[in-house]
Amino acid sequence: MTVVQAPPRVSVAQLRAGVRRRLGRAGTGADIEARMLLGHVLGMDAGSVPLHDERVVTAGELAAVEALVARREAGEPVARLLGRQEFWGLDLELGPDTLVPRPDTETVVEAALRGVAARSWTGRAITILDLGVGSGAILLALLSELPQAFGIGADRAPGAALVARRNAMRFGLASRCGLVVGDWDESLSGRVDVIVSNPPYIRAEDIAGLDIEVREHDPILALDGGGDGFDGHRAVLGAARRLLAPEGLALVEVGFDQAAALAGMAERLGWAVRLHPDLRGVSRVVELARR
């Protein structure tokens, strides 16, 4: 006589509770993260997962969830596990060469839209250049809001430009978005109306002290701002001097303690400067216009 042991029947609810417990020990936003990971494996959005609590999961699904939870416990951000992150209402695909877009960076988009509106450019065919375009977060958010605008995204990492290209296609923006691989503006000439950038701005010596989620999972090229952290900002200042139209504006993200220093640098170079706070009230974006 053979005894066949039935595999354990695990429901979505049981699996969800188990994942939540494990992630809770890892000190993360356990409930929402459990739903996001399960939703990813089960092919549904996070909010719908509890509606399927009665369902029994397959062995394959169980193994897939287990693998994701183990990676999460080892410090990999949920956005990396899912390969996507929402930004400005856009569901962006990510890649190994792109940052996970941060909510703070929406301040760049807001400031740019305000500057564009102040110039009555909202319905105009303006050109927007994004230096270090990454996944396309900032540029595609702007193109989604400005139906006549044309975007150029530059990135040193070919992998990032490819992801940005795919995102542009996903959102139906590809015909208004050119992507170039190179050291930002080196191959560009002519005039652009708006420059946006979230350059790498972490001081090289501070990188080792960043959270594991950033240090081990965001690309170093997108973080490392050189010895004083301002290498990327200096490159943006140079590009702005060369390419920005007379009435144009540039919006540059800075680290939490960098706004005053960049503002000083820009003023000495002759720029008119304004600062924009993020949701926590930290000066997060430096706006430049020609004087």
Residue 198 interacting with ligand GLN (CB under 6 A): yes
Span 25-84, contacts to ligand GLN by CB under 6 A: none
Q: Residue 85's beta-bridge partner residues? A: 92
* Interacting span for ligand GLN (CB under 6 A) from 88-96, 134-142, 158-166, 198-206: 198-206
CA distance 42 to 21: 19
Distances (CA, A) of 57 to 14, 60, 69: 10, 8, 16
How many residues make contact with ligand GLN (CB under 6 A)?
A: 9
Indicate which single residue of 201, 250, 266, 283 sits in contact with ligand GLN (rule: CB under 6 A).
201
* Interacting span for ligand GLN (CB under 6 A) from 24-32, 183-191, 196-204, 273-281: 196-204
246: left (phi > 0), else alpha (psi -120 to 50), else beta? alpha
What's the closest the beta carbon of residue 221 comes to ligand GLN, in angstroms? Answer: 10
Residue 200 interacting with ligand GLN (CB under 6 A): yes
* Interacting span for ligand GLN (CB under 6 A) from 28-36, 85-93, 183-191, 200-208: 200-208
Residue 223 interacting with ligand GLN (CB under 6 A): yes
Residue 202 interacting with ligand GLN (CB under 6 A): yes
What's the closest the beta carbon of residue 141 comes to ligand GLN, in angstroms? Answer: 16
Residue 214 interacting with ligand GLN (CB under 6 A): yes
What's the closest the beta carbon of residue 22 comes to ligand GLN, in angstroms? Answer: 25
Q: What is the largest CA-CA distance in the chain?
A: 91
What's the closest the beta carbon of residue 188 comes to ligand GLN, in angstroms? Answer: 21
Indicate which single residue of 102, 114, 165, 215 sits in contact with ligand GLN (rule: CB under 6 A).
102
What's the closest the beta carbon of residue 32 comes to ligand GLN, in angstroms? Answer: 21
Site residues for ligand GLN per CB under 6 A: 99, 102, 198-202, 214, 223
